[in-house]
Amino acid sequence: MAGWAGRLSPQPRRCRQVAAAFDNGLSVPAYLLANVRVTYPEAYAEYSRKVPATVAAHGGRFLVRGGPGEVVEGEFSLQRLVIIEFPDRDRLRAWYDSPEYQAILPIRHANGVSTMVFLDGYSDPH
């Protein structure tokens, strides 16, 4: 019986390739994308100081951590954009659900408004 990747023929080629990578036991990186409007910068700074150790403990690394950005197409309320890479979705989820991260999460919630998305990356199986 073919893996679930074989049943995705209507999907774009890239989606089929990622699905095939999962079927072949390969892991793909996973990304956290967060757009954060910091409402109380002084208090939010504590979260900013504490979060890197929790990310590193789960194999994650910051790719983007704030800084200037530019919306070049469409409408997007760009605030403080953060992109964190993890080895795979399981490690990303383990980080988010970890007691260490959950202990500091209320600091972010109390001092900013954010949208957070988990995304699977791409790994060419060839």
pLDDT (tens digit per residue) in 1-47: 444 444 444 455 555 555 554 555 568 999 999 999 999 999 999 99
Distance CA 29, CA 41 (A): 31
pLDDT (tens digit per residue) in 4-15: 444 444 455 555
Q: Which of 18, 47, 41 is nearest to 30 (CA)?
A: 18
Secondary structure (DSSP) of 48-92: HHHHHHHHHTTT-EEEEES------SS-----EEEEEEESSHHHH
Domains and CATH numbers, the chain: 27-69+77-120 (3.30.70.100)
pLDDT (tens digit per residue) in 70-86: 999 999 999 999 999 99
